[in-house]
Amino acid sequence: MKKNLITVIIAAVLVVIFALLLFTFQVRQSEVAVLTRFGQPVANLDQPNLYFKWPWPIQQVYRFDQRVQIFEDKFSENYTADGTMLLTSVYVGWRISDAKEFFPKFAGGSVAAAQRQLEQMLRSAKAAVIGTNRLADFVNVDPAQVKLEAIETEIKTRVQNELASHNYGISIEFLGLKKLGLPESVTTAVFDRMKSERNKSISEAQFNGEAEATKIKSAAERKAADLLSDAEAAAISIKGKGEAEAAKTLSVFQQNPELAIFLSQLETLKSSLNQRTTLIFDERTPPFSLFQNLPANPSTK
């Protein structure tokens, strides 16, 4: 009797487990699921939880990875607005945002099919955006003129708008240019153009420097000329005053030539005796002739 009870309990537990497996399913944190009824999606389940369903073939659950998936397109050629061929490669981070919309668009929710469709959109959007920008917007000696961030944003917006217009259930999380390249046939021409732009910048800097140097030199010469002119004017004024004073003295000397000669000899003698020196001279030679006929020293009398 006891053995039969254990068998019944085990059977009941198995039935409950089988029923749970048949009528319930779980959505994990990293998943998004779509619930179909007779093959048609009826619910998008993006929250982790335990859900109920009718057993197959009435209802069926398809699970997808909800995490961001990285995709990189092929290195392809496109022409810029100024007619230069540019090689580019773009990387994209995308995720399934609506499994209910995603599932019927890609043959049972095929991620590979979704990436093929995404690659076509990227190729079209990339060609359109590159075609409206010049090569200098991608490669430039002046970093301030490089527009890579704006170009990446425009490509992302174009792709996201196309995904939304077709209800693919995909969202673009990030997008960026991974590689930039130039065909060998145009690399030399591009480098020559960059060299020409750099030489132009050098020439402009040199011209501006020479112009500034000329301006400084002109200002210095003008200031020197002004100083020289002021000095000459002051010299002429001093010379004029001296000549006027000399003219006054000359008239006095002309009236008394002996006084003039005496003062001149006295001034010469004074300059000779400015320092402590011993003089040996002929008293008959001017100006030492002044020592002639001096009164005798009283002490010798």
How far apart CA 80 and CA 154 sit, in angstroms, is 15
Separation CA 278–CA 127 (nearest Å): 108
Cβ pair 131, 78 in contact under 8 A:
yes
Q: Whole-prediction pTM value? A: 0.53
Q: Residues 94, 30, 91, CA angle at the centre, nearest 5°? A: 20
Residue 80 vs residues 73, 77, 85, 134, 180: alpha-carbon distances, Å: 19, 10, 6, 5, 13
CA distance 97 to 115: 15
Give CA–CA dist 275/197, Å, rounded: 76
Give the model's pLDDT for residue 129: 93
Task: Report how far residue 271's alpha carbon sits from residue 268's, in angstroms, rounded to the nearest whole number.
Answer: 5
Q: Which of 75-89, 206-220, 230-244, 264-278 shows the lowest per-residue confidence on average (mean pLDDT)?
A: 264-278
Residue 299: what pLDDT?
52
CA nearest neighbour of 63 among 21, 43, 22, 35: 35
Tell me the three-class secondary structure of 34-46, residue by residue.
Answer: EEEECCEEEEEEC
CB 160 within 8 A of CB 149: no
Distance in angstroms (rounded) separating the CA atoms of residues 174 and 183:
28
Per-residue model confidence (pLDDT) at position 265: 65
pLDDT tens-digit readout, 166-224: 888 899 999 999 888 877 766 666 667 777 777 888 888 888 888 888 888 888 888 88
Amino acid code (one letter) for 209: G
Assigned token pair, 73: 């397109």
SS3 assignment, position 215 = helix
Give the pLDDT confidence score for residue 301 in this predicted structure.
44
| Apex 200 CA angle, 196 and 203, nearest 5 | 135
Q: Which residues make Cβ contacts (< 8 Å) with residue 46, sequence separation at least 6?
A: 27, 32, 33, 66, 99
* pLDDT value at residue 300: 47
Buried b vs exposed e over 54-86: b needs ≥16 C-beta within 10 Å? eeeeebbbebbebeebebebeeeebebeeebeb
Domain boundaries, the chain: 2-64, 69-182, 195-253, 256-293
CATH topology (fold) of 69-182: Tetrahydropterin Synthase; Chain A (3.30.479)
DSSP-assigned letters across all residues of 122-174: HHHHHHHHHTTS-GGGTS-SSGGG--HHHHHHHHHHHHHHHHHHTT--EEEEE
Contact between 91 and 103 under an 8 Å Cβ cutoff? The reply is no
| Mean pLDDT of the residues in the chain | 77
Q: Please say if the pLDDT value at position 158 is more than 90.
A: yes
